[in-house]
Amino acid sequence: MKRPTALILRVAGTNCDLETANAFKLAGAQAELTHINAIKSGKTKLLDADILVIPGGFSYGDDVAAGRILANELKGMVRDIKTFIRSGRPVLGICNGFQVLVKMGLLPHNKTEAQNASFTWNDSARFEARWARLRINTHANCLFTKGLPEMIELPVAHAEGKFVVKAPKVLEDLKRTNSVVLRYVNEAGEPAGYPYNPNGSLFNIAAISNPEGNCMGIMPHPERFITRYHHPNWTRQTFHKEGIGLEMFRNAVLHVQN
């Protein structure tokens, strides 16, 4: 069977592209690290790919605001990206990539290209790097979390990870369409404040998707939990045969193949 092509977008400041490429290779895809200039010049065709990923990092140094410059640059390609999403192909934005999708107006889903949410500084006013407990919304129609256990853990690493919305209706729509995919929780699986919620995100949101479930933005880093040995407590967690993150990438690959 042909290996699906995962186009991993990179620009100045991207620093999680190699880990993301490795994750997709392990999941059975052909990973193509692609600089945005290759797409702008027409050398690489976005719509030729099977999966589109905007990985984590600090695109353009997070100058102005996290993800803002790259989001503005990609707005010239928004028609192709929307076509990509409407075709049912997987689109994934990780950390900085999540910020970009939100500031492009692609997430949360709306009928226009208007930005209706954003990210701001963590409530702690500092960079947070820790493992976070997460609860999957089992009612969400998200291809990336299909078949995963309800309670998972992934690492976070961000300074501007606090998810906020323009108006209460935006959150209401996210709830109504089951588009909130992951929430930060405590050991009991209940939403809780800092440090369980590392940034103060509204409704403890860690990941959202479009209603169709093929476009997801996620603040934690699944590419950093690919093998069980990545977990700091791996010697005691013998029930993990592989990293939860790898299962997310594999779900995207299987979706394309099927």
Max CA distance (Å), the chain: 51
Which positions ≥6 away from 83 have C-beta within 8 Å?
A: 47
ω before 198 within 30° of 0 (cis)?
no
Whether 221 is catalytic: yes
Whether 109 is catalytic: no
Q: Is 107 exposed, middle or buried (0-12, 13-18, 19+ CB in 10 A)?
A: buried
User: What are the tens digits of pLDDT across the range 66-96?
Assistant: 999 999 999 889 999 999 999 999 999 999 9
The percent of residues in the chain predicted with pLDDT above 90, rounded, is 90
The pTM of the full predicted model, rounded to 2 decimals, is 0.96
User: What are the tens digits of pLDDT across the range 40-71?
Assistant: 999 999 999 999 999 999 999 998 899 999 99
Q: Do the beta carbons of residue 28 and residue 250 sit within 8 Å?
A: yes
63: left (phi over 0), alpha (psi -120 to 50) or beta: beta
Catalytic residue from among 128, 160, 223, 247: 223
Catalytic residue from among 32, 158, 215, 221: 221
pLDDT in the model for residue 240: 67
Q: Do the beta carbons of residue 180 and residue 174 sit within 8 Å?
A: yes
Of 131, 134, 136, 133, residue with least CA distance to 148:
136
Catalytic residue from among 16, 32, 95, 230: 95
Joined together, the tokens standing for residue 67 give: 């993800």
Whether 95 is catalytic: yes
User: What are the tens digits of pLDDT across the range 156-188?
Assistant: 999 999 999 999 999 999 999 999 999 999 999
Q: Do the beta carbons of residue 208 and residue 157 sit within 8 Å?
A: no
pLDDT in the model for residue 64: 86
Of 241, 242, 248, 194, residue with least CA distance to 220:
248
Q: Categorize the per-residue pLDDT at 233 as very low, low, confident or very high, splitting at 50, 70 and 90.
A: confident
Q: Categorize the per-residue pLDDT at 153 as very low, low, confident or very high, splitting at 50, 70 and 90.
A: very high
Half-sphere exposure of 161 (CA within 13 A, CB side): 33
The pLDDT of residue 1 is above 80: no
CATH number of 5-257: 3.40.50.880
